[in-house]
């Protein structure tokens, strides 16, 4: 009778690979929209990927140090459980607060939503007065 070496880490590694390969939650994406934040000499610019959301379902709030994004991914009226063959898209509400690298003039902020990308441009300001406001999306 020959002895076989016991390799518990090899077995664990194999089990973990199997678990991730067959994970039923792999298509569930609970992350908020991805954003880029950068600045020029005069302004801070934020771009967010939010494909599949209607402009009326987006809400943007800007104050002197933060931008808050909120919205909702909606299902079409034609989407019924009895007709579904596969469903990988996410639906429901999202929100995200984005800290800004410098104080901004929130009353001069502008937002545009085109081809699933939200662009927010906010002029920088000198440190001092606090103010915030809701902005309209173009």
Which of residues 104 and 3 earns the better pLDDT score?
Answer: 104
Average pLDDT, the chain: 81
Which of residues 97 and 76 earns the better pLDDT score?
Answer: 97
Residue range 33-134, CATH number: 2.60.40.790
Q: What band does 85 get if pLDDT is binned at 50, 70 and 90?
A: confident
The owner of tokens 């990308």 is 117
Give strand ranges (E) for 1-138: 35-39, 43-49, 58-62, 66-73, 92-99, 110-114, 117-123, 133-134
Q: Among residues 88, 124, 83, 119, which one has the least CA distance to residue 103?
A: 124
pTM for this entry: 0.67
Mean pLDDT over 67-89 rounds to 77
The kind and range of the H/E element at 12 are: helix 8-21
Give the C-alpha separation, 103 to 64, whole Å. 5
């Amino acid at each position: 009778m020959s002895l076989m070496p016991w390799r518990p880490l090899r077995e664990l590694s194999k089990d973990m690979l199997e678990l991730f390969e067959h994970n039923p939650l792999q298509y569930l994406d609970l992350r908020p929209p991805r954003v880029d934040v950068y600045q020029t000499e005069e302004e801070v610019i934020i771009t967010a990927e939010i494909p599949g959301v209607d402009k009326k379902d987006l809400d943007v709030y800007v104050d002197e140090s933060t931008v808050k994004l909120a919205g909702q991914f909606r299902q079409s009226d034609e989407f019924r459980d009895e007709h579904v063959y596969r469903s990988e898209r996410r639906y429901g509400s999202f929100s995200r607060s984005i800290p800004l690298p410098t104080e901004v003039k929130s009353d001069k902020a502008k937002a545009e939503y085109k081809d699933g990308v939200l662009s927010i441009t906010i002029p920088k300001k000198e440190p001092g007065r606090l103010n915030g406001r809701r902005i309209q999306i173009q």
